[in-house]
Chains A and B, each alone.
Chain A
Amino acid sequence: MSVLLIAEHNNKELRPFTLNAATAASQIDNEVHAVIIGHNCEEAAKALSKLEFVKKVIQVEATHYENFVAENFAPVILKLADNYSHIISSANTFGKNLMPRIAAALDTSQISDITKVITPDTFLRPIYAGNAFATVKSKDTKKCVTIRPTSFDACESSGGSAPIEKAQASEEFLKTKFVKREEVKSDRPELGTARVVVSGGRGMQSGDNFKLITSLADKLNAAIGASRAAVDAGYISNDHQVGQTGKVVVPDLYIAVGISGAIQHLAGMKESKVIVAINKDGEAPIFSVADYGLEADLFEAVPQFLDELNKLNTIQK
């Protein structure tokens, strides 16, 4: 039995959740091999070979792998699949797009978005946006599993020295063509991995008022989040959305400002270590998950919050 981990990368470096997936893979079996499919991805392959838990790296290169098209990636994995009992990746948009294409071709019923490895064939996974957790056992001989990255610690990124093997590319799938990617660039910590997240909701009332969230986030070196209501209202772009249909975040500190706490938003943040809610409606459901709730008008409370933080800094100096 051994596990094939599909690495996620941008051809230069590994994407951080590959490290969490490696940890999950190691909990299934010690023999973790990692495959990296890309174009000029030498550096990323080297980084992969240094990961704790990774015993072998398989590198597959071709120009048609430059943009991670699932229709091109799946045949590569299928050629390698014979040697493995499990195929594993992160349940982010990369893994979600790719893994079912592999599973169906292998006639395997995939297990999505696990939060815990119980035994090599039994896993825990959230259903109904985290409002229930199912323990499920796979009866398939080959298992395709995607993991929720925030539920597994990142492995060490150094110390390993796995050999890198090259494997042959598969033919290009000509009916799908990559056109372009528009990445949202920011100097802030990334929402999915930030230690502190400050989120705004419909209570912000306008996109302009989101400046308050930005200032607070600047002060705390935090990522900026938003509820679906705020995104739908056009206050902020959708890559900031936290929740069932957005990102799931698990920061040390989550500050929800003007967010009522719809079920789908809670699903994306309620595992955070410390939750603060600022809302003028004392009955808002967000208070039921908040460690510290402040029932107040956010337009008064947030500027005060900034003042207090400034004072704190002065004292520390």
Chain B
Amino acid sequence: MKILVAVKRVIDYNVQIRVKEDNSGVVTDNVKMSTNPPDDNAIEEAVKIKEAGKATEVVAVSIGEEKAQETVRKALAVGADRGILVKTEGVVEPLSVSKLLQKIVEKEKPDLVFMGKQAIDDDCNQTGQMLSALLNWPQATFASKIEIKDGKLEVTREIDEGLETIEINVPAIVTCDLRLNEPRYASLPNIMKAKKKPIEQLNASDLGVDISPRIEQIKVVEPPKRKAGIKVSSVSELVQKLKNEAKVI
């Protein structure tokens, strides 16, 4: 079994983002970038499956600017065998990402494609489902548990009402929830080894896909600020305020 894992380079989740003064977007220059957190879970799961002897190869793919190579390299450092970088510039919408991934899937012929359920920058939560639609494959979204049984996958999904379990045939797409596993840290020797693993570089234009944006971003603004509140000195003051001022109890 071969597993393709898609990883995205995003602003690190610990960074307090800032909106550009001209409202054209969010400041990304000189800001710490990392792998999209649930994509780390996707890589971890693929590597675990390989370590359990149930997969033969894990390939990490990223779509983005030249620097996204770092994100692929990190996936190699935690256990992916080789990488692919599809170079793009500017905003690439999930629809375009899924079309590019479709081309990679046609070339690599993986049995499974894993990725995070959502990117923490645009918060779209679309790419996995879109790729499944384009390939007409089964989709298991928001996965918090994956079991391989007789060539099929039993996946537990996090849904609003609780948990749902589905069984899907391979090939399939799985989008990973943060609860799926605990991603490992790359050890120094593995980081060194990863430097020798191959990363194939492609240009999006070579793949024959129209990735021009369909959505115009008109402006980006900061959220409305909350009026500064007050500190109360005691529980009884708090209760009085809630009752008489806020009138919520």
Contacts and interface: CB of A to CB of B under 8 A. Distances in A.
Interface of A: 69-71, 74, 91-94, 96-105, 107-113, 122, 126-140, 173, 175-184, 192, 196, 220, 238-239, 244-245, 247, 252-253, 263-264, 270, 273-276, 282, 287-296, 301, 304-305, 308-309, 312
Contacts of B178: 245
B120 A135 contact: no
A183 B162 contact: yes
Contacts of B93: 109
B74 to A, nearest CB: 21
Interface in B120-153: 120-134, 137-139, 141-142
The contact size tier of chain B is 35 or more
A179 B16 contact: no
Contacts of A179: 154, 165-167
Question: Among the interface residues A100, A173, A238, A253, which one has the most CB atoms of the partner chain B within 10 A?
Answer: A100
Given A132-B223, A183-B161, A312-B249, A103 B126 contact: yes
Q: Nearest 10 pairs between A and B by C-beta? A: A100-B129, A104-B130, A109-B214, A104-B133, A100-B126, A291-B229, A304-B235, A175-B169, A179-B165, A176-B138
B94 A96 contact: no
B229 A128 contact: no
A101 B239 CA distance: 49
Contacts of B132: 71, 101
B218 A181 contact: no
A134 B219 contact: yes
A182 B163 contact: yes
A93 B142 CA distance: 8
A91 B127 CA distance: 15
B103 interface: no
A230 B124 CA distance: 26
B166 A69 contact: yes
A295 B232 CA distance: 8
A126 to B, nearest CB: 7
Contacts of B131: 104
B191 interface: no
Interface stretch (B45-53, B55-63, B240-248): B240-248
